[in-house]
Amino acid sequence: MNYVRTGMLLAAMTALFMGIGFLIGGQSGMLIALVIAAGMNIFSYWNSDRMVLSMHHAQEVDEQQAPELYGMVRTMAARAELPMPKVYVIHNPQPNAFATGRNPQNAAVAATTGLLDTLTREEVAGVMAHELAHVKNHDTLIMTITATIAGAISMLASFALFFGGNRNNPLGLIGTILMMILAPMAAGLVQMAISRTREYAADRMGAQICGNPLWLASALHKIAGGAAHIVNEDAEHNPATAHMFIINPLSGQNMDNLFSTHPNTDNRIAALHEMADEAGFTDNMHGSGGGHFHVQETSYSQPERETRRPSGPWGSAGQTEQHQGHDQSDHDEPRRPKGPWG
């Protein structure tokens, strides 16, 4: 059903774009609009990932620079049966993350240092699984296409006034002015609707990939709280990329309405808790999304389980007294870089 809705929304946006071209210049205007859209989509297909990562000053990291984060993404990608994506860190205090790339073979996931500082290891795993679900569902390409078409619609609408007196334009001057205002709004609403549809699907698949819906539920609660109080300057300067993040980075809006780029966070958390109840997961949280989960050891690779020790904000997540005692006994070993990003 999500794919059907997405297809219908994409068709509506395409029809809107072609309709504006026709109203501006008749059949020739519609043809020009198609050429412009094709050119913009081809450019975005090959360059959108680099553009978005550059806008947010993301820095690529490898296994030596960020061993815990890189290893976690590798584990989640293996579970999702995806190629290993590139991993990026954004030095930004707001907790957030996004995925980009034209296909699974050319994908990238990015996390802010605010997210790595704030969330537990399990919660970060839930977030990375959510982003990989977007990659697996080809949402990164879908969102790039919708953003490109929405931008093209806004561009055409801005030129519409110059063609208001064209005899091929049945709207007239007043109708053209209305079109200049309403067309970009309609395109934005369709873009937001597609984004909200894909977020619910990625939440569900992400919970399946990481193995525990409660990890992602708790992560969403913390991220929403952080986004509401911490300004993301790069996102404010590039609001067109807001729909790519797991939580709206602009204002932390928590409203599930036509003008929100993301679903209501409480609704997402409730859906994940319902999913957890169906699967028999339990937690010891007090309130929605708060506290640490008491869960069994995750199925990371064997080397990761053997070397887990306090390092950065994830040190105590999921560790038992036995693990901590082992860590204390080998204090003479060289210390690893502080923090999960190196």
Catalytic residue list: 131
Q: Where are the beta strands (DSSP E) in 35-96?
A: 59-61, 86-90
Question: Is 199 annotated as contributing to ligand binding?
Answer: yes
DSSP class of residue 230? S
Chain position carrying tokens 């939440």: 203
Tell whether residue 57 is among the known ligand binding residues: no
91-112 as b/e, with b when 16 or more CB fall inside 10 Å?
ebebbbbbbbbbebeebbbbbb
The Cα 192–Cα 250 span in angstroms is 14
- Do 82 and 198 contact (CB within 8 A), yes or no? no
Half-sphere exposure of 38 (CA within 13 A, CB side): 6
228: CB partners within 8 A, 6+ apart? 251, 252, 254
Which residues participate in the annotated binding site for Zn(2+)? 130, 134, 199
Which residues participate in the annotated binding site? 130, 134, 199
